[in-house]
């Protein structure tokens, strides 16, 4: 059974003018961080804990549901709370993070902390300055229902680091003192663990340096590890155990497509439970009771759920809630141990999200928190999924975001927005402020999940290997030409824009198709493929070097032929480059050299450089400024009154960062 989804109908507009949308949501509001992120209810239903953004920092807030009063917890060093979990009705373990210039969000520092629900008992359990020696980053593996004073954690043993990876151990940790007791080591480097609901570690899994799946299993009675060759062959990975702990759920490849399978540790047989010919599952659909799943979540253009048993009470409850919010994505995200209370998330392409409290006894759904209460959904662009065939016949999916009220307009100015990654990453049917910043200003926004994207199986992802500037780029071009052929986009008013790999694709697309795009915007993009092997954090590890050789290649002539920096003579489009001065994933030298190459040709690209930003801007003021300057650049290129392409703008003197 599928989730019932429908498009919100709006007033139709005629014509293709790129007129500004009346009273659009402001760039300042689009740039604001979501007010709330993760919300989790305590096992007994008395409290909720959540991450909230205050200023530019993420704090942990704990509230009593009886009166919605509580406290905010900041990190020890003015960092950010990254993740947390209830380990008992009154105790929370959390991780904190640091601002790393690799990414536009904080990354965990590998330490573990704990605090009581009333704000007392705040302790450093594991990390720098704790009673335990710091071996390497740690993360929570499982709570222990029969032993609430302890949890299972995995720790990367940095002192055992090998050329091909890091060994990880599972240890029992006291939630008050942090005392560690080692239980086992992983059977191979760089593996994660999955435990059953009783706290027995049953799987270790991951991907090795050659991109081969590695899965090991072990019995609940603490037996040894056994490799699962079938899982390696089919690229099947464990996800979780069912409520009884006797059956495990796996992502799997079935004869009829992609699926979710069950695996019985006794018979060691894999049985397909759900399959889809196009897309992989996005996860298991949680029910209103802890550790119980009601179906499979997937996204075939829009979010959907396939229910295991549509007649079960939990499934009927989920369907009933979905019917209250037609056209939106409804999910149980946290629940009590007995299923009496649960947190429900409701979101969509025009709704950043609302968290509700469901009470089973009263059958009431009460609003708790709005993710971004300053956003008016009526002012946002809706995302419409589409499908088409690439030039070689491969079926691809994507999204069109129309300016509000212009869903039937034709021959519109269009921005092709290419996602980063590129492998395993995809565009979704969701609220995306970057897309909204363009669509609410009068532009049709096209996104495409080109080969190499995630969500369509490993073979689809692998089809993008070695295809930088080739078939992956062709997919973006084909999507652009599809929109023109449908009469949706104006062939003379198209820009291309993207970040990271998307920045590469923007420049490469404008060079390969000089008459197709009137402007190209590269945001923290890669422009010299050979330079990726020498600069940045990727080539600093064996895994990173192997990754580059596997997906990009190392032939010097091929790297040159597919590097935008070496083919600027082909450009006719106006160019904008956006660079973060502290970016270590794609160092500023990539943008700086591209700018120098353009200037040598007599082109002066629009230049936005933020010295204190990394691989994607994070500070709200910087993001709002980015939106404003991108909008002005696009408007000058394809907006009302645009004078057309300017391939050889005069070089401005003294225009440096």
Query: At 451, which CATH number?
Result: 3.40.50.1820
- For residue range 483-505, what is the model confidence (pLDDT) as tens digits? 999 999 999 999 999 999 999 99
CB of 126 within 8 A of CB of 156?
no
pLDDT value of position 127:
87
Is 314 a domain residue? Answer: no
**Residue 223 counted as domain residue:** no
Confidence of residue 73 (pLDDT cuts 50, 70, 90): confident
| Domain-terminating residue out of 156, 185, 214 | 185
Compute how many other C-beta atoms are within 10 angstroms of the C-beta atom of residue 178.
Answer: 19
Of 136, 169, 185, the residue that ends a domain is 185
Structure tokens at 440: 């609410």
Is 2 part of any domain? Answer: no
Confidence at residue 291, expressed as pLDDT on a 0 to 100 scale: 77
Within a domain: 15: no
Distances in Å between the Cα of 617 and the Cα atoms of 100, 333, 500, 592, 614 are 12, 29, 12, 17, 6
pLDDT at residue 393 in the model: 97
Residue 332 has pLDDT above 90, yes or no: yes
Give tens-digit pLDDT for 256-296. 678 899 999 888 888 899 999 999 999 999 999 877 899 99
- Report the largest interatomic distance among the alpha carbons of the chain, rounded to a whole angstrom: 74
Domain-located, residue 349: no
Q: What pLDDT score was predicted for residue 207?
A: 84
Question: What size, in residues, is the chain?
Answer: 657
Domain of 163 in residue numbering reads as: 32-185
Averaged pLDDT, 524-530: 94
Query: DSSP 3-state assignment of 339?
Result: coil
Residues 525-538: what's their mean pLDDT? 89
Mean pLDDT is lowest, of 18-27, 28-37, 272-281, 391-400, for 18-27
Bond prior to 422 in cis (omega within 30° of 0): yes
Mean pLDDT of 343-351: 97
For residue 450, tell me if it sits in a domain.
yes
pTM (whole model) above 0.85: yes
With a cut of 90, say whether residue 78 has pLDDT above it: no
What domain count does the chain have? 2
pLDDT of residue 270: 87
Mean per-residue pLDDT, 383-394: 97
CATH number at residue 112: 2.40.128.660
Helix, strand, or coil (residue 161): coil
Closest CA to 135 of 153, 114, 117: 153
Domain membership of residue 106 (yes or no) is yes
pLDDT for the residue 258: 86
Both structure tokens of 54: 């205050």
pLDDT value at residue 657: 35
The whole-number pLDDT of residue 159 equals: 57
Strands 213-217, 201-207: parallel, antiparallel or unpaired by DSSP? antiparallel
Tell me the average pLDDT across 398-426: 95
pLDDT for the residue numbered 397:
98
CA–CA gap between residue 62 and residue 75 (Å, rounded): 14
CA dist 130 → 32, 111, 122, 123, 176 (Å):
36, 9, 13, 9, 12
C-alpha span between 555 and 443 (Å, rounded):
39
Q: Is residue 251 part of a domain?
A: no
The pLDDT value given to residue 418? 98
Share the mean pLDDT of the chain: 88
At which of 169, 185, 201 does a domain end?
185
- Candidate from 105-114, 148-157, 201-210, 346-355 with smallest mean pLDDT: 105-114
217 with 203: CB under 8 angstroms? Answer: yes
């Amino acid at each position: 059974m599928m989730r019932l989804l429908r498009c919100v109908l709006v007033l139709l507009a005629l014509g293709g003018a790129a007129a500004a949308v009346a009273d659009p949501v402001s760039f300042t509001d689009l740039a604001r961080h979501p007010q709330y992120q993760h919300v989790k209810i305590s096992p007994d239903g008395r409290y909720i804990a959540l991450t909230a953004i205050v200023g530019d920092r993420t704090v942990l807030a704990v509230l009593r549901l009886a009166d919605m009063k509580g406290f905010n917890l900041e990190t020890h060093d003015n960092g950010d709370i990254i993740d947390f979990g209830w380990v008992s009705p009154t105790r929370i373990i959390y991780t904190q993070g640091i601002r790393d210039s690799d990414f536009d969000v904080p990354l965990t520092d590998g330490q573990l902390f704990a605090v009581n629900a009333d704000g007392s008992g705040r302790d450093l359990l594991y990390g720098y300055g704790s009673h335990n020696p710091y071996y390497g980053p740690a993360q929570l593996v499982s709570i222990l229902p029969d032993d609430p004073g302890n949890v299972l954690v995995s720790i990367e043993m940095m002192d055992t680091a090998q050329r091909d990876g890091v060994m990880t151990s599972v240890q029992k940790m006291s939630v008050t003192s942090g005392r560690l007791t080692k239980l086992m080591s992983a059977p191979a480097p760089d593996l994660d663990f999955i435990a059953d609901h009783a706290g027995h570690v049953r799987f270790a899994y991951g991907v090795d340096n050659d991109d081969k799946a590695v899965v090991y299993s072990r019995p609940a009675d603490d037996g040894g590890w056994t490799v699962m060759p079938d899982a390696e062959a089919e690229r099947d990975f464990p996800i979780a155990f069912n409520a009884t702990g006797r059956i495990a759920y796996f992502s799997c490849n079935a004869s009829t497509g992609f699926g979710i399978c069950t695996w019985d540790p006794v018979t060691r047989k894999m049985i397909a439970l759900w399959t889809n010919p196009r897309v992989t599952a996005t996860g298991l659909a949680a029910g209103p009771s802890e550790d119980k799943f009601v179906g499979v979540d997937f996204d075939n253009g829009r979010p959907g759920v396939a229910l295991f048993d549509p007649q079960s009470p939990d499934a009927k409850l989920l369907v009933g809630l979905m019917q209250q919010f037609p056209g939106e994505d409804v999910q149980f995200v946290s629940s009590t141990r007995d299923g009496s209370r649960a947190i429900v998330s409701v979101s969509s392409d025009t709704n950043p999200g609302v968290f509700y409290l469901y009470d089973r006894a009263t059958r009431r759904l009460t609003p708790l928190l709005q993710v971004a209460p300053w956003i008016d959904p009526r002012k946002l662009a809706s995302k419409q999924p589409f499908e088409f065939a690439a030039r070689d016949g491969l079926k691809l999916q994507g999204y069109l975001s129309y300016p509000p009220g212009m869903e039937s307009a034709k021959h519109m100015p269009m921005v092709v927005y290419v996602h980063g990654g590129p492998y395993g990453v995809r565009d979704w049917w969701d609220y995306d402020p970057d897309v909204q910043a363009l669509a609410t200003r009068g532009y049709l926004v096209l996104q495409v999940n080109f080969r190499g994207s995630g969500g369509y199986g490993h073979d689809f992802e692998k089809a993008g290997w070695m295809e930088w500037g080739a078939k992956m780029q062709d997919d973006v071009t084909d999507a652009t030409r599809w929109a023109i052929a449908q009469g949706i986009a104006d062939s003379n008013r198209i820009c291309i824009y993207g970040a990271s790999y998307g920045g590469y694709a923007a420049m490469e697309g404008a060079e390969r198709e000089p008459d197709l795009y009137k402007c190209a915007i590269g945001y923290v993009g890669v422009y010299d493929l050979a330079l990726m092997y020498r600069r940045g954090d990727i080539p600093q590890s064996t895994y990173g070097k192997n990754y580059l050789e596997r997906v990009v290649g190392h032939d010097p002539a091929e790297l040159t032929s597919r590097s935008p920096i070496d083919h600027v003579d082909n450009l006719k489009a106006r160019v904008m480059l956006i660079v973060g001065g502290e970016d270590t994933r794609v160092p500023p030298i990539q943008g700086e050299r591209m700018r120098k190459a353009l200037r040598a040709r007599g082109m002066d690209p629009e230049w936005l450089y933020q010295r204190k930003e990394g691989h994607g801007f994070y500070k709200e003021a910087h993001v709002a400024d980015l939106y404003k300057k991108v909008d002005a650049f696009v408007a000058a290129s394809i907006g009302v009154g645009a004078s057309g392409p300017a391939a050889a703008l005069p070089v401005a003197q003294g225009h440096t960062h």
